[in-house]
Amino acid sequence: MRICFALLAVSLGMVLVACRKTTPPEPKPAESEQTLSQPQGARHHGTAVSGVSPLIVKLEPMTIAFRDGHLEGGRYTLEYDILGIEKVKSVRIVIYSPGFGPVQTIDAPVEAHNILTFDIDPGDFDFGPTVRLRARCPEGTTDWYTLGTMPMDFQHRMADVFAVTNVSPPYIQRNPNAFAGSGVNVDLWGARLNRECAPEAEVDGSAVELHNVFAMDKQIKTLIEYSDIRNGPVVARYLEVKLQLFGDKIAVEDIMRLNFSE
């Protein structure tokens, strides 16, 4: 097995959930117990920030088609509710891709309650290939884990199950400085992974070789070459739909997830 070299790159990002706080000038989630994985009917207002609270009541549909590294646009309906509307000067909907950035921004009416229909047009941006990883162990072979999947909560990641329950980094950014043999370090996590496990990977359905493998209890460290992922990026396999409110010393948002449908 030949040795490959990893380039250091900033590839970690924060996955925002629908909790709320505010740090102007960028809008931040306000304090709430709701999470992105909750059904739409369970969503509710959290603690108002400066007397203002945004809430995405409903988003339909909840998926967006993904084919060959590209998103297929479509028409969406978003229902929102705003507490403290008298303090709000502008409202916008931002379609955001973790690991890439804003895909689209849509101005919305400043209304306490509204149902907005809009088209998502991702353009021709390449979201990267589909990268799946799994572990082959004496106990068996785990199911595939798709890189960029929305991370499970801590309880599920630590559950005593035979599975890859998390992969880091959560996405891979394009690296213009990649050279032959260089790659990105990838960690597979799972409560029942051990030193006798070996990682496997496929890119767009074709097997690729992993390098610099080091397996230990609950974790496997390895490296995937940039050339095998077309030099990146491999963007998170979901979009964030953000309802952002702005006013005097107010910048707050609510977020829902729009999963890729492959």
So what's the pLDDT on residue 23?
Answer: 39
Instruction: Tell me, yes or no, whether 215 and 255 share the same domain.
Output: no
Based on the structure, what is the number of domains in the chain? Answer: 2
pLDDT tens for residues 190-213?
999 999 999 999 999 999 999 999
Angle subtended at Cα 72 by Cα 224 and Cα 166, rounded to the nearest 5 degrees: 35
Same domain, yes or no: 140 and 117: no
Helix/strand/coil (H/E/C) assignment for every residue in the chain:
CCCCEECCCCCCCCCCCCCCCCECCECEECCCCCCCCCCHHHCCCCCCECCEEEEEEEEECCEEEEECCEECCEEEEEEEEEECHHHCCEEEEEEEECCCEEEEEEEECCCCEEEEEEEECCCCCCCCCCEEEEEEECCEECCCEECCCCCCCHHHHCCCCCCCCEEECCCECCCCCCCCCEEEEEEEECCCCCCCCEEEEEECCEEECCEEEEEECCEEEEEEEHHHHCCCCECCCEEEEEEEEEECCEEEEEEEEEEEEC
The pLDDT, as a whole number, for residue 154 is: 80
Question: Does a structural domain hold residue 202?
Answer: yes
> Which of 239, 240, 242, 238 lies closest to 253, judged by CA?
242
Could you say which residues of the chain have pLDDT below 50? 1, 3, 5-24, 31-39
Determine the structural domain holding residue 144 and report its residue range.
Answer: 128-229
Please tell me whether residues 184 and 205 are part of one structural domain: yes
Do 135 and 117 reside in the same domain of the chain?
no
Residue 133, pLDDT score: 98
In this structure, the answer to whether residues 111 and 147 fall within a common structural domain is no
Domain-embedded: residue 21: no
Instruction: Mark whether 135 and 224 lie in a shared domain.
Output: yes
40 is a domain residue: yes
- In order, the DSSP letters of 60-91 are ES-EEEEETTEEPPEEEEEEEEEESGGG--EE
134, 110: one domain: no
pLDDT of residue 29: 57
CB count within 10 Å of CB 235 equals: 28
Does one domain contain both 158 and 221? yes
Distance CA 242, CA 76 (A): 13
**136 and 100 fall within a common domain:** no
Task: For residues 156 and 207, state if they share a domain.
Answer: yes
Q: Are residues 117 and 242 in the same domain?
A: yes
The CATH number of residue 87's host domain is 2.60.40.1930
For residues 207 and 225, state if they share a domain: yes
pLDDT score at 180: 87
The model carries a pTM of: 0.76
pLDDT at residue number 257: 92
Q: Is residue 253 part of a domain?
A: yes
Q: Is residue 17 part of a domain?
A: no
